[in-house]
């Protein structure tokens, strides 16, 4: 059985991520999305929230599951008996870092390979951080996310706004 892990922050999952997930699910028997629990990145959403969002958008893909992990991606791959790590490549700016990461991982774990899927052109500009920036400034994000994920993000910023207003009022 071919098993792949697709690691990332998914803070939040975008249509660009989903495109990679859907295409990987057609190639591999089993796809395990690994949500990185990395507080150093100061994620907007908790791991639980990110998993919940991923579960909702992948509900119709029977060979896709979600787990969280911390530590090395290779260890996560090994634990799940995955021979493949999937990464998405958007532009040359991704390339250098991804190449370095893949080559380092292959030295540490020669039995695991990294598979790159090039992004669909219509999502090549898309990142979670740009979506968060637009949403934080009150912009429209429905072209970039599944509708209920967009709602989730807008709700989060509304909560943050309320909290900072309450702090100001104190």
Catalytic residues: 17, 41, 90, 128
> What gap in Å lies between CA 100 and CA 71, rounded to an integer?
18
Q: Which strands form 64-69's sheet, in the order they lie side by side?
A: 64-69, 30-36, 3-8, 84-89, 113-118
Structure token digits, residue 63: 């060979």
Residue 90 binds ligand ADP (CB under 6 A): yes
> What gap in Å lies between CA 101 and CA 114, rounded to an integer?
9
The footprint of ligand ADP on residues 26-65 (CB under 6 A) is: none
Q: Of these, 4, 17, 24, 141, which contacts ligand ADP (CB under 6 A)?
A: 17
What residues contact residue 158 under an 8 Å CB cut-off, 6+ apart? none
Structure token digits, residue 144: 């970039």
Q: What minimum distance in Å lies between the beta carbon of 20 and ligand ADP? A: 5
Residue 73 binds ligand ADP (CB under 6 A): no
Pick the piece of the chain touching ligand ADP (CB under 6 A) from 10-18, 47-55, 62-70, 147-155.
Answer: 10-18
Q: Of these, 5, 16, 76, 132, which contacts ligand ADP (CB under 6 A)?
A: 16
Pick the piece of the chain touching ligand ADP (CB under 6 A) from 8-16, 58-66, 104-112, 157-165.
Answer: 8-16
Q: Of these, 4, 20, 64, 153, which contacts ligand ADP (CB under 6 A)?
A: 20
Structure token digits, residue 169: 């009022």
Residue 94 binds ligand ADP (CB under 6 A): yes
What Rg, from alpha-carbon coordinates, does the chain have?
17
């Amino acid at each position: 059985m071919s098993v792949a892990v697709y690691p990332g922050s998914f803070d939040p999952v975008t249509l660009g991520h989903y495109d990679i997930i859907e295409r990987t699910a057609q190639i591999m028997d089993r796809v395990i999305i690994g949500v990185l629990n990395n507080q150093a990145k100061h994620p907007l959403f908790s791991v639980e929230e990110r998993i919940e969002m991923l579960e909702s958008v992948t509900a119709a893909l029977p060979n896709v599951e979600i787990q969280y992990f911390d530590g090395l991606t290779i260890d996560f791959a090994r634990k799940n008996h995955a021979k493949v790590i999937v990464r998405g490549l958007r532009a040359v700016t991704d390339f250098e870092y991804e190449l370095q990461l893949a080559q380092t991982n292959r030295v540490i774990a020669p039995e695991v390979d990294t598979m790159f899927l090039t992004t669909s052109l219509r999502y090549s500009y898309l990142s979670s951080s740009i979506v968060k920036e637009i949403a934080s400034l009150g912009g429209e994000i429905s072209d970039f996310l599944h509708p209920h994920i967009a709602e989730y993000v807008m709700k989060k910023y509304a909560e943050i706004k309320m909290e900072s207003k309450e702090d100001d009022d104190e």
